[in-house]
């Protein structure tokens, strides 16, 4: 690991022809924590994950994962022995049975834990003799998760791991992720489910149009972000409230809503200057921050 970071990228970029999927991405992921990687569809999350695994070559920049350079194919192979990965589409080999799929996968990893495999098989109720092609999407997801969780990797990279799971399955997944993190595994996962992310993530990274637009701990976000709802007898111009720390200002009639990443007290003071009738400062949910970060200009 470089500087104690599990994942470290520097100006990482990936282009497909004229389309820049990922632009100058600087990621720095701490060990032994759960990092959520958020973004809209097509934001570049899966492309970034594939670059981190050495599955596709970066067009620019470079990075290290567990100290191995992602642009080096030899180091990429070594790296993949230390990482467990569940892909976005959860597609596996249709011509194998569940049992064959598990036997095939465990042969590649020395950190495979048969006891954990058995436990997860019981927990996920996977039919060993069933062909993968006849499994439902949820079952396929569970099989993919089993093959990742039956190991003891240093890093778990999961691309939308809860996709296809029912609420019970999601609950089981979140519990496993928390347990793995407390065992010392670093978890890096992408998701669209903000409520799940808020429950388990320590660190939040938001990617928008290939760029990293937010990288902060969830605790810091909760402490610093505030929504300030104001009511004025006569609404002042928005630009008076676009001060340091303010991310967004919206007005409707006599009401103004200000989203501040810091300096909420400055906004309150400004509101008092304009004789606000009502000032309400409230904590902000991750969903609001996400929507603010990914809104199109």
Partner 1 sequence: MLWYKAWLETRSRFLLSLIGMVVLCSVFVLHGDRTVIYDVAADYYNYVFFFCHQILAMMWVLAVTLSMMGGLLRERATGSSAFTLALPVNRTRLMMVRICTGLIQAVALAIVPWMAMFSVGSIFGKTHSISQAAFYLVLLLGGGALFFGIAVLVSSLISGEYTAPVVSFGAVIVTAVALSTVRLRPYSPWGFMTGSEYLNRQTGLLTWPIPWLQTAIYILLAGLLLAISFQLIKRQEF
**Which one, of 164, 161, 171, 155, lies nearest residue 82 by Cα?**
155
- Which stretches within the chain are classed as H helix? 45-52, 73-82, 98-106, 114-124, 137-149, 167-182, 194-200, 218-224, 264-273, 286-294
Question: Which residue, among 80, 76, 59, 73, has the nearest Cα to 15 in the 3D structure?
Answer: 59
Bridging pattern class, strands 211-217 and 203-208 = antiparallel
Stretch of 2-10, 23-31, 95-103, 196-204 contacting partner 1, by CB under 8 A: 95-103
Q: By CB under 8 A, how many residues form the interface with partner 1?
A: 32
Q: CA angle, corner 27, sides to 180 and 189, nearest 5? A: 35
Three-class DSSP category at 297: coil
Stretch that binds partner 1, among 33-41, 61-69, 90-98, 273-281 (CB under 8 A): 90-98
**Region binding partner 1 by CB under 8 A among candidate stretches 24-32, 100-108, 232-240, 257-265:** 100-108
Would you count residue 107 as binding partner 1 (CB under 8 A)?
yes
The residues near 206 (Cβ < 8 Å, ≥ 6 apart) are: 38, 39, 212, 213, 214, 215, 289, 290, 293, 294
Q: Per-residue x/- mask for partner 1, residues 143 to 162, rule CB under 8 A?
A: -x------------------
- Span 35-64, contacts to partner 1 by CB under 8 A: 50, 53, 55-57
Could you say whether residue 137 binds partner 1 (CB under 8 A)?
A: no
Choose the binding region for partner 1 from 94-102, 173-181, 218-226, 266-274 (rule: CB under 8 A).
94-102
User: Minimum Å distance from CB 211 to partner 1?
Assistant: 21
- Binding site residues, partner 1, CB under 8 A: 16, 50, 53, 55-57, 73-74, 76-78, 80-81, 83, 85, 87-89, 91-96, 100, 103-105, 107-109, 144
């Amino acid at each position: 690991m470089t500087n104690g970071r599990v994942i470290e990228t520097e100006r990482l970029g990936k282009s497909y022809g004229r389309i820049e999927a990922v632009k100058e991405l600087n990621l720095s992921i701490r060990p032994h924590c759960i990092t959520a990687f958020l973004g809209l569809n097509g934001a570049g999350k899966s492309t970034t994950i594939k670059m981190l695994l050495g599955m596709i070559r970066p067009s620019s920049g470079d990075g290290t994962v567990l100290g191995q350079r992602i642009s080096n194919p030899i180091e990429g192979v070594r790296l993949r022995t230390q990482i467990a990965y569940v892909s976005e589409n959860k597609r596996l080999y249709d011509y194998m049975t569940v049992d064959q799929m598990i036997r095939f996968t465990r042969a590649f990893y020395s950190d495979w834990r048969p006891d954990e495999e058995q436990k997860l098989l019981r927990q996920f109720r996977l039919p060993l003799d069933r062909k993968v092609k006849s499994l439902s999407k949820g079952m396929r997801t569970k099989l993919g998760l089993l093959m990742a969780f039956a190991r003891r990797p240093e890093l778990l990279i999961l691309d939308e791991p809860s996709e296809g799971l029912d609420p019970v399955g999601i609950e089981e997944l979140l519990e496993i992720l928390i347990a793995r993190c407390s065992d010392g595994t670093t978890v890096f996962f992408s998701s669209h489910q903000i409520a799940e992310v808020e429950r388990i993530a320590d660190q939040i990274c938001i990617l928008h149009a290939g760029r990293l637009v937010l990288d902060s701990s969830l605790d810091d976000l909760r402490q610093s972000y505030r929504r300030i709802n104001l009511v004025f007898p006569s609404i002042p111009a928005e630009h008076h409230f676009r001060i340091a720390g303010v991310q967004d200002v919206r007005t409707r009639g006599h009401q103004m809503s200000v989203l501040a990443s810091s300096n909420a007290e400055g906004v309150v003071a400004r509101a008092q200057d304009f004789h606000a009738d009502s000032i309400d400062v409230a904590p902000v949910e991750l969903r609001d921050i996400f929507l603010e970060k990914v809104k199109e200009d």
